[in-house]
Structure 1
Amino acid sequence: MPQIEPDDFVALAQAGFTTVIANRPDAEVEPTHRSDVMAERATRAGLTYHYLPIVPGQLGPDQVARFREIMDSSPGPVLAYCRSGTRSATAWALGQAGDRPADEILSAGRSAGYDLSHLGPMLRR
């Protein structure tokens, strides 16, 4: 999947997004794509930017809760990104558990191109 580039934020705002969540840790990106640069570009485009890094294999309940909080408080559509989108999709899915049926969450993931079936037991709590 293509990555978000510093110059993409104007187009994201024009597409209707109001909020961006960066789940990719700064240690994974070049200096031109670090959170401080991306936050400045997002703000300049009129977007709210949140840096919520998720290290592969280390997604915890506090991050899921914060992801959900950002989603719930956004005045409009949210774009979350990481390297492939899997960490962002997983954080979203786990944040929906208990509020949406597991099959609906898994179906939304599939529709977006993510197989989240391994999360089934956690989504059915």
Structure 2
Amino acid sequence: MLDIKTLTSTLSVSPQIEKMDLKKIADLGFKTIICNRPDGEAEEQPLNGELGMLAERLGMDFIEQPVIAGAICAEDYVEFAQALATATPPVLAFCRTGTRCTTLWVNGTEDLGSREERLNHATQLGFVIKA
């Protein structure tokens, strides 16, 4: 079941997506999917390569930028911002819960004018972002 949360007019986040979700994601108008979850974190999660292949068949771009929960570094923030800058919007980023994607957004972009504004927005959406 999709649980998409809107961060900006061009970026939304969600918990892990499934193969069966891809058609609905395409129907919702998303043009790019960014995966921030490494393969193999959980036994039941679909392989990113399979999701990417199916997304591309539906006309969406698929960008893999796996990051380890609790070990996000400055380079990850830069890479996420670069992916957003080159991606065709609207973009859906996903990880296990959506928190990693949101953390990358809060710390890696200039959206909403300030980190404090991004952090406040993330908190209002129910995310707990560590400093």
* Fold similarity call, TM over 0.5: yes
Larger RCO: Structure 1 or Structure 2 (Cα < 8 Å, ≥ 6 residues apart)? 2
Question: Match for residue 112 of structure 1?
Answer: 125
TM-score, length-scaled by structure 2: 0.79
**In the aligned structure 2, how far is the partner of 1:97 from the partner of 1:77?**
17
1:63 is aligned, of 70, 76, 80, to 76
Question: Match for residue 34 of structure 1?
Answer: 47
**Structure 2, unaligned runs of 5 or more:** 4-14
Higher helix share: 1
For the pair shown, the structure with the greater C-alpha radius of gyration is: 1
Question: Match for residue 48 of structure 1?
Answer: 61
**Structure 1, unaligned runs of 5 or more:** 120-125
Which residue type is aligned with residue 98 of structure 2? G
Higher strand share: 2
How many residue pairs were aligned? 118
TM-score, length-scaled by structure 1: 0.82
Alpha-carbon spacing, 1:84–1:34, altered in 2? closer, same or farther (3 Å): same
Is 2:93 the partner of 1:80?
A: yes
User: Is the Cα–Cα contact under 8 Å of residues 7 and 41 in structure 1 kept in the other structure?
Assistant: no
Deviation string 1:35-89 (CA, Å, 9 cap, x unpaired) is 1111111111111101111111111122211111111222211111111111111
Is 2:31 the partner of 1:18?
A: yes
**In the aligned structure 1, how far is the partner of 2:29 from the partner of 2:67?**
25
